[in-house]
Structure 1
Amino acid sequence: MPIFFLIIIYLAFISLGLPDSLLGVAWPVMHLDLGAKLEAAGIISMSIAGGTIASSLASNYVLKKLGTGKVTLISCFMTASALLGFSLVPSFLWLILLAIPLGLGAGSVDAGLNNYVANHYKAHHMIWLHCFWGVGATLGPIIMSSFIGNNSSWRNGYRTVAFLQFSLVILLFVTLPLWKKVGGEGKASNDEQHKVGEIDTSQDSGDVKIEKDNSASIELEERSNYKGKENVLKFPGVNLALISFLFYCAGESTIGLWGSSFLVNTKHFAPATAASWVSLYYGGITVGRLITGFITMKLSNKILIRAGQIISFIGVLLLILPLPKACSFLGFIMIGIGFAPIFPCMLHETPVRFGKVQSQKIIGYQMAAGYIGATFLPPVLGFIAARTTISIMPFFVLTYISTMLYSSERINIVMRGKKFYKAHM
């Protein structure tokens, strides 16, 4: 039963990933049909992410009131309804209105499921959880490109994804009692999970396993139980973590939103071909997370975060340098593979860095910071690109990755500092 419960959580993350990649791959065709400007995609993206920020910040309250199961069901229904609305819109303004429930449907469930897995399961389950997000994000462009490539409407692409979402809504509704029976509305039974060997009682990120340092293990355990101050933003390292999430999501969203337009307008690909190549970017994230889930059993989260940032950095360089078109293909895949471990590994580190008691609140803030990056930075690029050229896109992403790498390394230094333990033990 606990394994089946985990599968339900995985499937819920497919529903989170399905809508995320649709707008970017459909926009080169959508904006022409609706008579909208190229940079107008940024307005829709801002509306979606704005709703997600609001629901992320309210996630702690909403999850306590309704429970993870009901929040997941309601969120999936909201996104399915919004996507169906996208397929029926008569004008651009309706897209902006429908973007709000699409965003609201993502924030609370995202924060709730991430916190549950971070606190109860080992790192590889967090990686695989986001691998299922990648499954949804990869399927989206494949579905949309098949309709665009066959001279069908992008509306049919949205309609198909909406029907898939409604199928998942039915499954979540039927299995809603399972959340109370097994998960206790967000808490799985320790005894049941021990039987299947899933639960992570050690709360180590992999570093303790590698270093084999007993004193570090004691400090880690004590810090996980730290109840702390109410203002978690004053915890050493929290602001650096928020910066890392902000620029990671900015980079991921920028590639997803503007990658297809970059390939069409700079590399001169056909829209359907560009959409297929962007699906390879999401495919790289998906496959990378599947593989990384096994690697977490040997390597620490910190090492995987650093390696992912370096790989994605190299992938962006392949888009910038004057190389053959095939290198752009490799670049998108490398960016996806590099991005694969970063987000889930940073989330899984949260209870380790700041304690289990405060992890739900901090994860909510981290998700909000990520969505702020996804909300504001891609539209800024669109605004500038409309007045210059979309070929500047890789330079923006390179800056985001560099800033994220700097912040990530700084937080590692803070976490190693003796002052942290003395101030909060």
Structure 2
Amino acid sequence: MFLGITNTARDYAWGSVTAIPELLGRTVTGAPQAELWLGAHPGSPSVVVNPAMVGGADTVLDWIAAEPQTALGEGRTGLPFLLKVLAAAAPLSLQAHPTPEQAREGFAREDAAGIAIDDPARNYKDPFPKPELVVALSDRFEALSGFRPVEATLADVRTLDAESGRLGPLVAHLQQGLEDTVRWLETADPSALAIVEAVGHLAAAAVADGTDEVSANVVTAADLAERYPGDPGVVVSLLMHRVTLERGEAMYLPAGNIHAYLDGLGIELMAPSDNVMRGGLTPKHVDVAELLRVLDFTAYPAPLLAPEALAPGVDRFAPDGVGFALVRVTGDGRPVGLATGGVAPLSGPSIAICTEGVVTLVGAQSATLLRQGESCFITPDEGDVTVEADSTTGLTSSVFIATGTDDGRDGAPGER
């Protein structure tokens, strides 16, 4: 079965006013539209377009509860993923997510402490990890992700501090390593707060001077200092990779990865968890101690994720061990290439969204037409799905399909 689904976009303050409505062909209301959730998460379950197809169920969550074997297949207890369209027009919070072990321990600890699940101060809403990946839909998708080598940060700090000599304490902590520096900054020592203020002023001055020596990290620090004056995240951003994804490029954010999306439209796929440890750049609950507990302070390369090319026009983004994958099928709309069929390999229940053009999805039992902005739930009995571009339009087509894998877990019931 191909079941048409839709949803109302979440109105978080950092969301773009135009990006999601323009993608979906909806009216621009003037309010921010940050995330469109496609899945069964109880925080915003997808709405069924034609409830009569599934016994009157209004949402995917209700349908799964009523007919789990039809929706999910034999032996499954939930969707292993949550698919989102994300549109950031301002920075999201500085954050990280736990490992499976940390999530189980933290959930049990907060339960034992009697912290209500809906308490804004609760960190662990469920006992599951929240790995995630994002693929850029806009020409550029901007983010901070993961710690970069200390030497790179020292180079920026020394450039900023070439004349004032105000950042000596920051240099001293950086020479002790990333963990020492982050702990000093995030625990708001008075000397750290003075450095946060100094970095904000020096970064703003460097950007205003417009010299060629100003790095992307310094520009970002200046912007964050204007938005969140005095926030330790301003300086933490200098320790991180400043990532620009071009359209179609992706990155993967494993457990312990410190990150913050800054600007852009993307397709995001994650485990359906709501465990977020925030460390700043937000008016929401910040728990520095818990963030420091889950952070991985290793300096890795920028976490870019290259797809596996399965066939011409068929790519698969599949990090190891997370239980989900994202298949992208593209075509040029002419009676060659995908007009003859690009096959998306699926495992279990899946969800598709068309982000360009018009396509037909053909499974083992039925078929459906998707236009740009439309999405559907795909039941397991359809098997692998052939995506056929509409060769009469001459338009480029693109479809993203979230599906399971054999190396993960069943789904559990993610706001930032």
Q: TM-score range by the shorter chain?
A: under 0.3
Q: 1 or 2, which has the higher helix percentage?
A: 1
Of structures 1 and 2, the one scoring higher in RCO (CA 8 A, sep 6+) is: 1
Q: 1 or 2, which has the higher strand percentage?
A: 2
Instruction: Give TM-score scaled by structure 2 length.
Output: 0.22
Structure number with larger C-alpha Rg: 2
Instruction: Give TM-score scaled by structure 1 length.
Output: 0.21
